Amino acid sequence: MRRKIQDEILDRFNGTCLSYTLNIPGSVKDSAAFRAAFRKGLDQLNIAVGNRILYAYIRFLRTGPEAFFSIELAPEELKKRTVEIEESHPCGRLFDMDVLAVRGNPVSREELGLPRRKCLICDNPAPLCARNRTHSLGELLERIDSITGNI
- Is 12 or 104 the better-scoring residue by pLDDT? 12
The answer on pLDDT for 144 being more than 80 is yes
Q: How far apart are CA 38 and CA 46, in angstroms?
A: 13
**Span 87-116, average pLDDT:** 93
Q: What angle do CA 25, 87, 84 make, to 5 degrees?
A: 125
Residue 110 confidence (pLDDT): 94
**Span 106-128, average pLDDT:** 93
Domains of the chain with CATH codes: 2-148 (3.30.70)
Beta bridge partners, 55, equal 70
Report if pTM > 0.75: yes
- Is 50 or 17 the better-scoring residue by pLDDT? 17
In the predicted model, what is the mean pLDDT of the chain? 95
Residue 151 confidence (pLDDT): 75
The answer on pLDDT for 10 being more than 80 is yes
The answer on pLDDT for 54 being more than 80 is yes
